[in-house]
Amino acid sequence: MRVLLAEDDEIQVRYFQALIERCSYPIDLIVASDASVALMQLERQRPDLIVTDLLMKPFDGFHLIKMLEREPAYFRIDIVVISGMDRGEALKRGQLPDWVTFYQKPVSPERIVGYLDSMQARFAKAQITAQQKTGSIG
């Protein structure tokens, strides 16, 4: 699984790295310091999940989400927002689509690891289904 983290706070980056180390399966973490860097990384290394803060400079998470909404090639990428704002405040500042998962800081480690575990289970199931369709497993 490949995760793109758009976060400008180094402490939050280290926290997320520590959470990923708790997972029992490999996760490739790509870190971007703002939305513009995230968009460049997105083109180079298509992630399965984007985790973004909303308040970053010069380009914020709202900008990143709007750009992702415009491009059908990115529709399969899950997006998780982790923000110090509550969802109501975030909605006032910019539109957040209903399909974006929103967590207000502080987020318990179990919640993030649980989300990652769920994604990994979906990937494993999709891989088995694809193998069954091609007849490569019996």
Q: In CATH, what number is assigned to the domain containing residue 61? A: 3.40.50.2300
The CA distance from 81 to 116, in Å, is: 14
Total domain count, the chain: 1
* Structure confidence at residue 11 (pLDDT): 93
pTM of the complete model beyond 0.85: yes
* Structure confidence at residue 32 (pLDDT): 95
- Structural domain boundaries enclosing 89: 2-134
Residue 7 has pLDDT above 60, yes or no: yes
* Structure confidence at residue 127 (pLDDT): 78
Tokens of 78: 């899950």
Q: What size, in residues, is the chain?
A: 138
Q: How many CB atoms lie within 10 A of CB 133?
A: 9
Residue 133 has pLDDT above 60, yes or no: yes
Choose between 133 and 100: higher pLDDT.
100
The CA distance from 74 to 67, in Å, is: 9
**pLDDT band, very low/low/confident/very high, at 33 (cuts 50, 70, 90):** very high
**pLDDT band, very low/low/confident/very high, at 136 (cuts 50, 70, 90):** low
Q: Using an 8 Å Cβ cutoff, are 96 and 80 in contact?
A: no
